[in-house]
Amino acid sequence: MKDLKKQFLESGLLDGLKTEAELTSLLKQLHSTALESMLQGELDAHLGYPKNAKNQGSNSRNGTTKKHIKTEFGKSQIEVPRDRQGNFDPVVVPKHKSNSLSVENIVISLYAKGMSVSDIEDELQEIYGFRLSTSAISIITDRVNQHVLDWQNRPLESVYCVVWMDGIVFKVRQAGKVINKTIYLAVGLNREGRKELLGMWLGHNESAAFWQGVLTDMKARGVEDILVTVTDNLNGFTQSIKNVFPTADTQICVVHQIRNSARYVVWKDKKAFTGDMKHIYNAPNKEMAKAELDRFAEKWNDKYPYAVQSWQRNWEELTVFFDFPLEIRKIIYTTNLIENLNGKIRKYTKNKMAFPTDDALKKSVYLALMQITKKWTAPIHNWGLILNQFLTIFEKRVQL
């Protein structure tokens, strides 16, 4: 086995693979050897020095143990290296488990963390002592495109209690230039109280017209009704929603409104200005909020007319949340939920200054989303109470 491993690593067999069939066939033949090589690489990283080098610490190698494992290519037996302190905990073949992490999954996991194809090649070589060509890595990551397509076209539920929508901008190379493109995201709150990523759509600069296409796609995939939408105050957004889901209540994000209003205020006035805005959206009901808006306008209209007029112009859509009990108000007055999602996506893609193609962008964002949404398993806080409130307000529109 050791001789085969040496031949495998030194031969460059994984270099120059050009087809998916070639890659699959080779991985089937060499999977066990690859795993052993990767385990040795992990132990090198754990100990801080390579095999046959002088011991550089208190811990050292301590032979190997045989282990039977199950892989996507069937059952096999491998040699798992040990350390004297017994604290080596490999990733590719975890302790006390018979399943291994496949080469493909490792590559895709690294790609999801924002690493480029060449970075992955270097990482596999450095950490695992395992050589996989950039062409083979590209074949593996290209398989994600089909997953994206299948996921994007999957059926959706017929009713969502809330749908939050927002866009996130990335730089993409196109025709020799770097341009901005927008990934449009929609997150739904289903009737079980769980958050659900409804899809991602790629377009140019965010526009109401494109959002209408997004909503139409959601309807084609089975969505019949949305009770409440939550969006920023993009011009024409509300009308686009009404064109597709005419009975939806449309709430504009109050936090976006506050930020937009404060942009035009000089520093010395900001504390007083934002304090007066707070009285508006923290009012106990819509009538009191309107009274606070009138006081706000009287005080600030001469100095900051644009900010005041923005509140007045968007008033009906800014105050939809006042029509609901406090528990529902907390989840619909802002798009913070989806903005937090955008922030997490940025952490996964921060290494990419500009994506080479649209497909590369979609693959990276999709993989980041799959990692992030793994934790979306439990209903939101207080769901039992909130569901009963939705049932009372919307009656027959929420059928369980």
- Condensed to tens digits (0 to 9), the pLDDT of residues 77-134 reads 888 899 999 888 876 677 777 665 566 677 777 777 667 788 888 877 776 666 677 7
pLDDT tens-digit map of 333-369 = 999 999 999 999 998 888 788 888 898 899 889 988 9
- 44 lies in the same domain as 168: no
Q: Let me know whether 64 and 178 are in one domain.
A: no
Q: Residue 2: pLDDT above 60?
A: no
Which is more confidently placed, 117 or 1?
Answer: 117
Q: What residue numbers bound the domain in which 30 lies? A: 20-101
pLDDT greater than 50 at residue 6: no
Q: Does residue 10 sit within a domain?
A: no
C-beta separation of 218 from 199 below 8 A: yes
> What confidence tens digit (pLDDT) does each residue in 239-297 have?
999 999 999 999 999 999 999 999 889 999 999 999 999 999 999 999 999 999 999 99
The whole-angstrom distance between residue 338's C-alpha and the CA centroid of its chain comes to 10
pLDDT category, 8, cuts 50, 70, 90?
A: very low
In a domain, 3, yes or no: no
15 within some domain: no
Residue 114's pLDDT is what? 66
Q: Is residue 7 part of a domain?
A: no
Encode pLDDT of 107-118 as tens digits.
Answer: 777 777 667 788
The total domain count for the chain is: 3
Which candidate, 74, 12, 9, places its Cα nearest to that of 38?
Answer: 9
Q: What is the pLDDT of residue 46?
A: 81
The verdict on 208 and 116 lying in the same domain is: no
pLDDT, one tens digit per residue, over 169-212 is 999 999 889 999 999 999 999 999 999 999 999 998 889 999 99
Q: Are 188 and 293 contained in the same domain?
A: yes
- Mean pLDDT value across residues 295-306: 95
CB under 8 Å to 192, separation ≥6 — which residues?
379, 383
Same domain, 319 and 206: yes
Q: Are residues 181 and 328 in the same domain?
A: yes
**Whether residue 383 sits in one domain with residue 291:** yes
Residues 324 and 269 in one domain: yes
Question: Does 36 fall in a domain?
Answer: yes
Q: Are strands 74-83 and 159-174 parallel, antiparallel or unpaired?
A: unpaired
**DSSP labels, 87-124:** ----SSS-TT-SB---HHHHHHHHHHTT--HHHHHHHH
Domain co-membership, 121 together with 50: no
Alpha-carbon gap, residue 299 to 292, rounded angstroms? 11
Regarding whether 353 and 233 lie in a shared domain, the answer is: yes
Q: What is the pLDDT of residue 172?
A: 93
Is residue 14 assigned to a domain? no
Give a yes or no: residue 342 inside a domain.
Answer: yes
Same domain, yes or no: 205 and 346: yes
Sort strands 177-189 and 195-203 into parallel, antiparallel or unpaired.
antiparallel
Q: What confidence score (pLDDT) does residue 98 get?
A: 65
- Is residue 357 situated within a structural domain? yes
Q: 77 vs 1, 33, 90, 329, CA distance in Å?
A: 11, 10, 16, 57
At residue 5 the predicted structure's pLDDT band, cuts being 50, 70 and 90, is: very low
Residue 331: beta bridge partners? none
Q: Please tell me whether residues 350 and 308 are part of one structural domain.
A: yes
pTM for this prediction: 0.73
The whole-number average pLDDT for the span 315-334 is: 96
